[in-house]
Chain A
Amino acid sequence: MTEPLALVGENIQRTFPRSGFTLDVPRVEAPAGSVLALLGPSGSGKTTLLLILGLLDQPDSGRVLLGGRAVTGRDRDARFQMAAVFQRPYLFKGSVAENVAYGLVMRHVPRAEIASRVEAALGRVGLAGYGSRSALSLSGGEAQRVSLARALVLEPRVLLLDEPLANLDPLLKRRLTHDFARILRESGATALWVTHDHDEAIVVADHIAVMNRGRIVTHGPADEVMGLPVDEWTAVFLGMEEPQTGTVVGSAEGLVEIAAGSVRVVVTGDAPVGSAVEFSVRPEDVILFEEGVELPLSTARNQLPVRVESVQARGTSNHIVLETDGMRLAASVSRSSTADLGLEPGRRALAVFKATAVRWKASTP
Chain B
Amino acid sequence: MQLFVETWRQGWVMLASGSVDVWQIVWTSLLLSGVATLVAVLIGLPVGYIVGAKRFLGRRAALVIFNAGMGLPPTVVGLIVAMTFSRRGPLGFMNLLYTRPIVVIAQLIIAVPVVMAITAAAVAAVPRELTLQARSLGAGQLRIGALTLSEARMGLLAAVAGGFGSIISEVGAVSMVGGNLEGDTRVMTTAMMLFTRQGQYGPALALAVVLMAIVIFVNVVLTGFQTSADRWEAGAR
Q: Interface on A for B, CB 8 Å cutoff?
A: 51, 54, 56, 76, 79-80, 82-84, 86, 88, 90, 92-93, 102-103, 106-107, 132-134, 136-137, 150-151, 154, 160
Contact = CB atoms under 8 A, between A and B. Distances in A.
Contacts of B132: 51, 56, 84, 86
B136 interface: yes
Nearest to A136: B233
Given A134-B235, A137-B235, A90 B129 contact: yes
Interface in B12-53: none
B234 interface: yes
Contacts of A136: 233-234
A93 B136 contact: no
Contact count band on B: 20 to 34
Contacts of A133: 235
Given A93-B150, A93-B151, A107 B233 contact: no
Contacts of B143: 106
Contacts of A150: 137
B181 interface: no
Contact of B138 (A79, A88, A132): A79
A137 B233 contact: yes
B148 to A, nearest CB: 11
B133 interface: yes
Contact of B129 (A54, A86, A103): A86
A90 B133 contact: yes
Interface string B137-148: 111100100010
A134 B234 contact: yes
B56 interface: no
Contacts of B232: 134
Contacts of B138: 76, 79-80, 83, 103, 106-107, 154
Given A86-B133, A92-B151, A137-B235, 19 more contacts: A51-B132, A56-B132, A56-B136, A76-B140, A79-B138, A83-B136, A84-B133, A84-B137, A86-B129, A88-B127, A92-B134, A92-B147, A106-B139, A107-B138, A134-B234, A134-B237, A136-B233, A154-B137, A160-B136
B134 A102 contact: yes
A143 to B, nearest CB: 12
29 contacts: A51-B132, A56-B136, A82-B136, A83-B136, A83-B137, A84-B132, A84-B136, A84-B137, A86-B133, A86-B136, A90-B130, A92-B130, A92-B134, A92-B147, A93-B229, A93-B233, A103-B137, A103-B138, A106-B137, A106-B138, A133-B235, A134-B233, A134-B234, A134-B235, A134-B237, A137-B233, A137-B234, A150-B137, A154-B137
A136 B150 CA distance: 14
A146 to B, nearest CB: 12
Contacts of B233: 93, 134, 136-137
Contact of A88 (B129, B137, B234): B129
B133, B140, B143, B229 — which one has the most chain A CB atoms within 10 A of its CB?
B133
A106 B129 CA distance: 18
A93 B127 CA distance: 13
A102 B137 contact: yes
A51 B129 CA distance: 11
B146 to A, nearest CB: 11
Nearest to A160: B136
A332 B130 CA distance: 41
Interface string B150-162: 1100000000000
B9 interface: no
Contacts of A84: 132-133, 136-137
B118 to A, nearest CB: 19
Nearest to B132: A56
A84 to B, nearest CB: 3
Contacts of B151: 92-93
B87 interface: no
A134 B231 CA distance: 10
A103 B235 CA distance: 23
B76 to A, nearest CB: 38
Contacts of A88: 127, 129
